[in-house]
Structure formats: C-alpha cells, structure tokens
Structure 1
Amino acid sequence: MADAQATGPILRLQGVQTHIGPYHILHGVSFEVPRGGVTMLLGRNGAGKTTTLRTIMGLWQASAGTVTFDGTDITRHSTPAIAQAGIAYVPENMSVFSDLTVAENMRLAARTGAIDERRLDWVFRMFPALKTFWQQRAGVLSGGQKQMLSVARAIIEPRQLLIVDEPTKGLAPAIIQNMIHVFRELKQTEVSILLVEQNFHMAKSVGDTVAVMDDGRTVHTGTMAALAEDESLQQKLLGLSLAAHQ
C-alpha cells in the first residue's frame, strides 16, 4: 500500500460536484495530478477552474465526489488541515499583506515563524526583487513583484503540492518569462504543481499533463505536449490556437 501511495498520483478528483448557494458550479470533475510534474488546468472563462481549486482546498465544500491527496480522502477536511497536510495555495488575487514588509510576509508564511536561510537564498535566486525590497512594505511592490511574493510565500517551506491560480494574469511579457523560469526550476524539486493559466505560452512551456474543463466538467485529460501539437483539438476544447500565443 505504501509503495502504491508513493508512486500513484499526488492528487485525484473523482466526480467532484460543488454547489455555491443555489448554483450548481461543478458537475463532475475528474482528473489526476501525477507526482513531480506540472499539471495544467485549462478552460474558457467561467469553466469552473477556480471553483475546482477552492474545492480542493476546502474553501468550498464538494457536494458529491471525492478529493484524494497522497492517498487520503480530504474531501471533508478543513482548509487549515489541508494546508497542514502539505498543500500550498496561491489564489488569483495575490495573497500578500500590503501593510507588512516583504520580510514580515515571508515570516508569516513560515509555519514556525523562522525561515530556513538556505531556502530563502534559493527563493532570492528566483526572485531577486524580493531581496531588494526585503524591508519595504509589500504595498509598494508592482503587480508582478506582488505575484512573485505570493509564490515565494507558498514555497518558503517544502510542500508536496503547490496549487497556483493564474500566476501570470496581467503581467508584462518579461515577468511572464521569469515565471516560466521559476516554474521550470520548481519542477526540478520534489514538489508537484497544479496550475491554472490563461497564457498558453506559459502552459506549453511548463506543463507536463493537462486537464481541460468546460461548463463545470472535465472534457479532456492527457499530455500538454499532445494538446500543444493538435490545433484542431485546441480549437474544439478552448476556442483558440496555442500557435497564436507564442
């Protein structure tokens, strides 16, 4: 059993349904996140991608189906318990405290309040701007720098799974390229990543596997490379061609 758990997917969703008030948002979401790679969660606006992430994290409760993390059913677990189990979540709205310094933001993200200096040096190599603004209030950072801080907060301690919602939204091309470099470097560590992304150059550059959603359902799963090579499938699933987003 332990061997199967160590080699099976780090995350599995099976038939997940979610209601928010009177609205039925997810109608049966099923996909897996393999260990040690990047799984892209793609779909048109309103397909249910963010709801899926929030359901995984327990911020919204699934009304049916199961969410399994590292062999354990976490469908009914609280958000703090899910985070404690080894999942870090970076929401779309940049999870930073504007009135606190960059240093204080990072210390709050460390569960013990103490930051491992070697790991901090590693984070600084990926995000040198954070070292520059270390004692500055996070509110003075640019949008791209705040997004860097959001990701840095999530990885300041080792995690088994990193869930990120649209990290390049609204960012300049140069910052997007830096994010691609960061996620490629993260792939060299032991963390598994589930990434919602609308920038398809980013998706193609870092994704290993992909799940595509439409109208609250999973409509396609496979490798990112296969989707990137099939323009007709891209048009069918996403209504666009990746070739137009190079």
Structure 2
Amino acid sequence: MSEALLKLEGVHTHIGAYHILHGVDLEVPRGQLTMLLGRNGAGKTTTLRTIMGLWQASQGRISFDGQDITKRSTPDIAQAGIAYVPENMGIFGDLTVKENMLLAARSAGRIEQLDEKRLEWIFGLFPAMKKFWLHPAGKLSGGQKQMLAVSRAIVEPRKLLLIDEPSKGLAPAIIANMISAFRELKQTDTTILLVEQNFNFAKQLGDTVAVMDDGRIVHRGAMRELAEDEGLQTKLLGLSLAAHH
C-alpha cells in the first residue's frame, strides 16, 4: 500500500441540526484512484465538501500531504493543491469555455500565460473543449459541461482531485470518453478521490475503494476484490452487478 496523501481520522460533520458524518476514517493513497461508493444519502458528497473546507468538521482530523488542513479555509486548501469538481460542475454558463479555463488557472491572468503544452494535452483528452473554445459554456451539452468541469480542475497540475459523480446522466459514449481520460490522468501522478454511483464506471477505474453507509466507512480494500465479489457488492451497495453490465 503506498502512503496516504489524504487521511481522514474520526471525522464528524454536522450541518445545522443534522449529524451527517459519524467518524469517517479514510485513506487516499498517493498516485492512485480511490473510489468512494455508497447508496444515496450515505455521506459521500458531505465527505468531499468537508475535505474541501466548504463544511467544517466538528470533530476529527484531516491531513493532506503531511499537513493538518482540518480548520483551513477553502481557498487555502485549494492553494495546497486540491481541486474539487462538484456534482453540479460549478462552471460559469455565461462565460466561454476559454474564459472558464482561465478563471480556473490561478497562476495565469491572460490566456497566453496558460501552459500551452498542458492545454494541448487537455484538448487531447477532451477534443470538444478545443472545438467549443469560444462558445458560451451554458450552451454545451451535459457531457461537454462535465468535460469542462474536469478540464478546469486539471488546467494546472494538482496533487489531488476530488470529483463528485462525473458519469451522472451521461450517455454511454461520453462515459467511455471519461473513462479513457481518467485512465490517462492516472498516469500523470495525480491522486484522485472519485464519488460514483455507476459501479461499472467505478470498477474500470478504481485502484482502491471505500464504501460508505450512514456517515461511516464500512468497507475498504482493493477495487478488484469488490468487483469480483458479487455477494459483497449486494451486501454493501444493495446491487448485483449482473444487472449493471
């Protein structure tokens, strides 16, 4: 097991009167893609938002790259090298694809300052971004918006990507494109924590997996082991993969 880049120890999160996370213990190994799975309402999105500082942990510790980030502000956490792609994608519909990309790049004030080689690499992953470079992002299809959201997260090198349900509502051809893009991302020494409902998507990409239920991690291990054990899938996720090919 490679060392953990991100570690959550006994993390609790309250949102108003609601106690959502009940002592989450999670390790995300450096350089791997970790899948965070679980039924709806298990606490997966809350976990990502708590890591990002959008919601404060009420108890427990979150460490990233050896630093305690539990009480840090969201901009500080982003500055440390974490990018977050929320489920609603967080793109600016009135702005062009180009403007969206520029806004996401902290080190560039003008388009000429973007790393051209990196931009070409992103265009290779998502050709639609080049094609619609000057189009308003709001006019893109759902799949293209998702590609833009991921492109924005990787416009500069990041140590860790937090991505919430990237395949949700996408057509199979777009999902296949996403899978190949994430495979390529995995080769670049980027660590990824990915929340996903689509088990087929998860098993093709995940190195390690953590399963949540009711605000806790109830299973951790290799993705391959879970993918091969239908009994365990049914127990943890209430699904039989036979129905999800």
Could you say whether these structures have the same fold, taking a TM-score greater than 0.5 normalized by the shorter chain as the test? yes
> What residue is the counterpart of 1:17 in the other structure?
12
Distance across 2 between alignment mates of 1:242 and 1:210: 16
Aligned partner letter, 1:73: D
Structure 1 residue 130: deviation in Å? 0.7
> What residue is the counterpart of 1:72 in the other structure?
67
Q: TM-score, normalised to structure 2's length?
A: 0.97
Structure 1 residue 99: deviation in Å? 0.4
Q: Residue 92 of structure 1 aligns to a residue in which SS?
A: coil
Q: Residue 41 of structure 1 aligns to a residue in which SS?
A: strand
Structure 1 residue 244: deviation in Å? 2.3
> What residue is the counterpart of 1:88 in the other structure?
83
Aligned partner letter, 2:17: P
**Aligned-residue CA RMSD (Å):** 0.7
> What residue is the counterpart of 2:48 in the other structure?
53
> What residue is the counterpart of 1:155 in the other structure?
154
> What residue is the counterpart of 2:207 in the other structure?
208
Distance across 1 between alignment mates of 2:240 and 2:159: 32
Aligned partner letter, 1:28: G
How many residues were matched structurally?
240
Deviations 1:4-46 (Å, cap 9, x if unpaired)? Answer: xxx6210011110000001100001101000111000000000
Distance across 1 between alignment mates of 2:102 and 2:162: 20
Deviations 1:73-118 (Å, cap 9, x if unpaired)? Answer: 1000000000000000000001110000000000111112231000
Q: How does 1:100-111 map to 2 (within 5 A)?
A: 100-111=95-106
Q: Residue 10 of structure 1 aligns to a residue in which SS?
A: strand
> What residue is the counterpart of 2:243 in the other structure?
244
Structure 1 residue 242: deviation in Å? 2.6
> What residue is the counterpart of 1:231 in the other structure?
230
Matched, 1:167 2:166: yes
Aligned partner letter, 2:81: G
Distance across 2 between alignment mates of 1:83 and 1:245: 35
Q: Residue 4 of structure 2 aligns to a residue in which SS?
A: coil
Distance across 1 between alignment mates of 2:23 and 2:228: 27
Aligned partner letter, 1:122: W
Structure 1 residue 243: deviation in Å? 3.2
Matched, 1:133 2:132: yes
> What residue is the counterpart of 1:217 in the other structure?
216
Distance across 2 between alignment mates of 1:241 and 1:180: 22
Q: Residue 111 of structure 1 aligns to a residue in which SS?
A: coil
Where structure 2 has 5 or more consecutive residues not aligned to the other structure, the ranges are none
Distance across 1 between alignment mates of 2:32 and 2:124: 21
Q: Residue 26 of structure 1 aligns to a residue in which SS?
A: strand
Deviations 1:31-78 (Å, cap 9, x if unpaired)? Answer: 100011100000000000000000000000000111110011100000
Q: Which runs of 4+ in 1 moved over 3 A?
A: none
Q: Residue 197 of structure 2 aligns to a residue in which SS?
A: coil
Distance across 1 between alignment mates of 2:185 and 2:37: 20
Distance across 2 between alignment mates of 1:244 and 1:208: 23
